A = this chain, B = another copy of it.
Amino acid sequence: MINSIIQNFLKVRNNFKLICEPLEIEDYQVQTIYDVSPPKWHLAHTTWFFEEFILDRFIPNYKRFHPKYAYQFNSYYNHIGDRIQKDLRGMISRPTLNEVYKYRDYVDEQVNSLTKFIKEEELIEIAKLLLIGINHEQQHQELCLYDIKHIFYTNPLKPIYQNTEMRKQSTIEPIFIDLEAGLIEVGYDNKTDFAFDNEYPKHKVYLNPYRIQNRLITNHEYLEFVNDGAYDNFEIWLSDGWDFIKSNDIKTPMYWENIDGVWQEWTFSGYQNLDLNKPVGHISFFEADAFAKWKNKRLLTEFEWEYAHRRLEHSNEEGFFSEELDNFKVLTKKNDKNKIYQMNGYYWEWTSSPYGAYPGYKQAKGAIGEYNGKFMSSQMVLRGGSYASQKAHMRPSYRNFFQSDKRWLFNGIRLGDDI
């Protein structure tokens, strides 16, 4: 088993290089807003994770690549110690990108040779830590895509990440599908190799009967919302949301721009005319919630979402992940009203569930326990992945979480309703 994990490790590690191929050295260096980290930092931080949690603990007399990298590339682990402030990541010009790639090679080699060193009794723990490290790297590769999109967007020269012709999305008729729920079970179901601790323990939840919409909200629908003056109608906004859009002068999704009367959207291929059939993205929880109120609907709870994901038949065309970054999936035939669409990939779907611990949740001891547990306040759960997520990284119980005002990530809207 450990060998297949290491094979997967090498594949995932290599994927980061592919993601970064279109970048110039200067692009790796910048932190355009607080949320963004420089790609160079992502490359080094994910590497440090393996060094800190595995190599340094399990290889006898392990020699770290550089004694100060733990300080520079620790993100938020208090157990590990001091580190540079998050908002200064873009200020740190050394190590150079070249040195960071050497660091990656060094650590990859060490992990590749791990089996020579480890003892039988450590195998399971190491396997578990490797899986965490791989999933951690996948998360950062996704974050790095968010960040690259923003870095290019911020630049007045509007550079292009990839030059792909966008295919048009065809229409999916919107339908609400009814679900009779009752007492159900949610949480990690042991059907995948790995799950984060925040998906444990599996537990019972009572759901009232509810409805879920068969697809995400489109740019077309969201444009109606904009054109209806929704951003100036306080009635549909949470109080915090109203403050947020007014004090930040927000009037559309993050990457929309009306250029000479034509609505355009910033993409990895530069500005593109807004495809009205595509799902809307880059909206805050506050906007998602307001949109739902405007429609006289509501967002789903994370448990309604999870139950529907398991219970309903998914469309064939379903699934749009970073592996298919070059374009959105295209629906070739009329949509099937019994199936649910776009539950996997596309855009993370804001739920109405604040991020918290499942009943019986126990935080792991030590640094690894800081991974999820300490963030269980003031954030909302998102479900389903995005076109920057990796397919292999996802499962129905996966919980993503962000503050309600975040818009640089790839997030969208699916509606629910009471029956």
Residue positions of A touching B, CB distance < 8 A: 24-32, 40, 68, 71-72, 76, 78-79, 84, 88, 90-97, 151, 154-157, 159, 183, 203-206, 208, 234-235, 237-242, 285-286, 289, 298, 352, 354, 356-357, 359-360, 369, 374-378, 404, 418
Specify which chain B residues have a CB less than 8 angstroms from the CB of A156 in the assembled complex: 68, 71-72, 84, 92
Specify which chain B residues have a CB less than 8 angstroms from the CB of A359 in the assembled complex: 208, 418
Residue of B nearest to A82 (CB): B156
Residue of B nearest to A360 (CB): B418
Distance between Cα atoms of A234 and B80 in the complex (Å): 12
A91 close to B30 (CB less than 8 A): yes
A interface majority secondary structure: mixed
Specify which chain B residues have a CB less than 8 angstroms from the CB of A97 in the assembled complex: 26
Known: A359-B418, A377-B404. A93 touches B155 (CB 8 A): yes
Residue of B nearest to A404 (CB): B377
Specify which chain B residues have a CB less than 8 angstroms from the CB of A94 in the assembled complex: 24, 26-27, 155, 157, 159
Specify which chain B residues have a CB less than 8 angstroms from the CB of A204 in the assembled complex: 206, 208
A376 close to B30 (CB less than 8 A): no
Specify which chain B residues have a CB less than 8 angstroms from the CB of A356 in the assembled complex: 352, 354
A26 close to B96 (CB less than 8 A): yes
Apart from A26-B97, A239-B375, A241-B377: 18 A-B pairs, beta carbons within 8 A:
A26-B29, A26-B96, A27-B93, A27-B94, A29-B93, A30-B90, A30-B91, A68-B157, A72-B156, A78-B235, A78-B242, A94-B159, A183-B206, A204-B208, A208-B360, A238-B375, A242-B374, A377-B404
A157 close to B239 (CB less than 8 A): no
Specify which chain B residues have a CB less than 8 angstroms from the CB of A377 in the assembled complex: 238-241, 285-286, 289, 404
Specify which chain B residues have a CB less than 8 angstroms from the CB of A29 in the assembled complex: 26, 29-30, 93
Known: A93-B27, A354-B354, A354-B356. A378 touches B157 (CB 8 A): no
Point out the residue from B27, B78, B208, B240 that lies within 8 Å of A234, measured CB to CB.
B78
Specify which chain B residues have a CB less than 8 angstroms from the CB of A376 in the assembled complex: 238
Query: Can you list 6 residue pairs at the A/B interface with Cβ under 8 Å?
Result: A78-B242, A79-B235, A94-B159, A204-B208, A237-B374, A377-B404
Please indicate which of the listed interface residues A93, A183, A359 has the most CB atoms of chain B within 10 Å of its own CB.
A93
